[in-house]
Structure 1
Amino acid sequence: MDWFKTIQENVDWLSSIGSDPTGGMTRLLYTDSWLEAQNAVKTKLEEIGMTTRFDEIGNLFGRLEGSTYPDETIMSGSHIDTVVNGGNLDGQFGIIAAYLAMGYLKETYGQPLRSLEVISMAEEEGSRFPTVFWGSKNFMNEAKKEDVIDIADFNGIKFVDAMRQCGFDFKAGEQKRREDIKAFVELHIEQGNVLENEGLQIGVVNSIAGQKRYTVILKGQANHAGTTPMGYRKDAVYAFSRICCEGIEKAKKVGDPLVLTFGKVEPKPNTVNVVPGEVLFTIDCRHTDGNLLHGFTGELEERIQEIADEMGMEVSIDLWMDEAPVPMDESIVKVIEEAAKKENMKYRIMHSGAGHDSQIIAPHYPTAMIFVPSIGGISHNPAEATKLEDLVEGVKTMAAALYELAYK
């Protein structure tokens, strides 16, 4: 197989569905381009001899039956949706890698001993509706109808109406989680710059970082910029700046893999000649150790309250996301590492700072991930790219891992 030609053709082909006229890709859940892409992938899976099916909500499956242990399934895949005006590798390349690797194995070695299965998950990004991991949460029977029954997109189109327009619907009643899946392997672009900076081809992911996200509102007192002496001010921007600087300096002292981001800042009244009386800001903190993450953010919350009290301000702290770290399965990590060694890849063991479908699947089935480098660490952007040779090495590593899992 000419891996370079085959991979480039498949990326170009699938990227043409949902290509954004302003550049990049926009393929949102339950849109025409989303449905076209899922049906196109379905046809591609059938072309390599897979039996295909959709589940009730639109997850797509393609299956090669095992000859000896058909009730033991080795699965790979990712999500088909994109962010608005995103890149052409996030999500969909994991699907491409899965079916190309499985097609190659079938062509080279024949029918696997264990069943091989591709999953093209309906949604992960949360870009159209205020819900995330709709595909993998349904796959794990963790999705809740009540969480989406009343939500709508930015055009006012209801989630339920969009889903049914595409021919899908909610699952009927409680369903038992599948017992046949023995391993899940997801290939993904890194979406960071560690591999590129270290000159490596493959990341073997052994954990996905936990996340805590906050919205904080500091309320001081808006006042005249010229007539209010510095000692009498309740300047909310100054209070925020103290919190931000102290927090980031402390995070640097803790060191990797802790990351802390103050990503959104909205001062009020936000004008040149008024002391700002209120600031809304967000906090995003991540670490692979749940206890350390909890301890660090707990101390940060205490310091925010202390600074507010010192400056005579009110503060509200809303912790609206609290996701625990998710370890990957040690045995599957070892299989991928050995596959990388066998293919003479330059690799490292690493964690993922971003969330992925694998974090939903890992608590239930043995799971691990393969990363390939992102040029400049850029993702969720039309400039998202990976060198073709790195994409090739990623698929080769995937094929080698799947061979160990399904053919031995």
Structure 2
Amino acid sequence: MLPPRDPDERLKARGTDTRPDGRFEPHQRIREADGWDIPEESRLLRTQVTMERPRSIITRNTSPDISFDRSINPYRGCEHGCIYCYARPTHAYLGLSPGLDFETLITAKLDAAALLARELGRPGYRPAPIALGTNTDPYQPIEAKLAIMPGILRVLSDWSHPVTLVTRGQVVLRDLALWAELAAKRMAAVGISITTLDADLARAMEPRAPAPATRLRMIRELAGAGVPVRVMVAPVIPVLTEPEIEAILAAAREAGATTASMIPLRLPLEVAPLFRDWLDRHRPGMAAHVMNRVQAMRGGKDNDPRFGHRFQGQGTFADLALQRFRLARRRLGYHRDAAPLDCSRFGPPPKAGDQLSLF
């Protein structure tokens, strides 16, 4: 059971309204009225950003479900506030709540570009595409002010290092020239996540993320600049957004996306109760139907974390959704796979006085 919301807080465009304790906390905090409370003026809950100075910036993984082995996440937490975000449980590692804390208490890694240049220059480093936006969105709203991403992209371009991106943040268009520069060398690909084309539903589920029309414009402008764009129909929420699979694919193809992927809804750890609470508040008439379908795709549970299953789902409904996706992808002329990125040019940027290459 989730704790009640703080009545003294005013919330504006937040995905959840509560702060459940993380799973590592030894105690639970429960708000109780004891009759001695003094009425206070409500306060607007604002996003707070703190600076983190990590010793390294490239994260490695060996997951059999993921196509990349290294990634960079400039931020912890995400102000977009998507209620279904699978990254919410990571805030529990910081002693913070996967609920409101995840979308209001953000940490930023301002030294990301310098750390990246240092790691790329280490003896023995071997290039492979670096994935950006694998946990939280590097183009969330605070990036417009902090501008960490241009430094990262400049380092990658200087070193001729391939990179991929997953985002739904329109701040990516600020860096369009850098993405086009990398794409011209076959070293960049961008994925834009579209969950629904219904602006009202998107505003409720993803309160501070760009509207669906804006994401289609992002695809159009990136593709127009020569950047390969993948539309990511993710997450596909049974009953709620699953009927839109074909419409999303059609709209994204018209905008210029050339490849597409689909992932059914995942509800790991603390995300499941938060999502259930959201359904009860925003779609009470559909809540039971949605969760019944989710469990039908997850072996009777809210989530199935097993490798080989967590990104696919199982059962009749999962199979039907995947068939619809594949048929629409083929009919609309999407490429099945993206072109591989070029790792052959990797090397340190030239310094003043260096002899130019003949090739």
Normalized against structure 1, the TM-score is what? 0.27
More strand by share: 1
Select the structure of larger CA radius of gyration. Answer: 1
Higher RCO (CA 8 Å, separation ≥ 6 residues):
1
